[in-house]
Chain A
Amino acid sequence: MELHALKEELLKIEASGASLVAIAPEMPDKVAETTARHDLQFEVLNDQGNRGSRQFGLVFSLPESLHTYAGVGIDLPAYNGGERFELRLPSTDVIQPDGQIVYGFVDTDYTRRMEPSYILDALRLLCSGLRVYSRGRRQIWINPNEIESSYFV
């Protein structure tokens, strides 16, 4: 669902001047397989052992009550590499060039996703040259070319 939906949104994202990177939990050969099967034009990075998603704070241990999940046709430790029954929450972040997260969506309910239109709105603002200035989780959009540096003294 998610990759499929993103593929459709990719054209719009690229039209806005931004790009997309997907971070996959799978072992290397699985990433290549996924990329080929979906004819994906965006970068898919291999996040074996959840090294990257851990830094986003998204990793949790699968409770024992759900270990049988792995018996429903998927061997989770084998698939993702490692011994642990660890999973990550899915997330989608819009990031501006200085590395700051402008908009982020993470939810524990795996049946919910951020609507792509929210991403596109943020990307259009970024691609028009605006940037976000944050204090905590409060944000304002600014045009860096129109702001006197003294504003921030």
Chain B
Amino acid sequence: MAPQQQLEQQKRSSINKVAPEIIQTMAQVTADLKASGIENRALGRGDQGPGFTLTNARGEEICLTDLFSRGPMVVNIYRGRWCPTEMWSYTP
């Protein structure tokens, strides 16, 4: 199943488990966020990727610019475990 289809299915099944007022609040927050224009302010195609340095799981410092220079790269920024769509995958 395609990832988007999987998400749609999870979305439908989760709606039955969560209180309606929470669903409503989250829909409002999502709408407000969209209206804030954050998607247009975020970096996108044609922009230069930032070259910050962060540590990896072994505590080593990794500079993004160095990673880029090694070849084509996918950078995935994810929300973390709190995200409902990601928590499902953490269930054993």
A residues at B contact (CB < 8 Å): 1-6, 13, 16-26, 28, 30-32, 34-37, 43-47, 51-53, 55-58, 60, 62-63, 65-66, 69, 74, 76, 79-80, 87-104, 106-113, 115-116, 119, 123, 126-127, 134-139
Contacts and interface: CB of A to CB of B under 8 A. Distances in A.
A137 B78 contact: no
Nearest to A120: B74
B78 A93 contact: no
Contacts of B83: 2, 90, 110
A93 B88 contact: no
Contacts, number: 240
A98 B68 contact: yes
Given A55-B52, A97-B72, A23 B78 contact: yes
Interface string B53-92: 0111111001011011111111111111111111011100
The 4 residue pairs across chains A and B that have the minimum distance between CB atoms: A126-B72, A18-B72, A57-B42, A134-B46
B69 to A, nearest CB: 6
A1 B10 contact: yes
B65 A93 contact: no
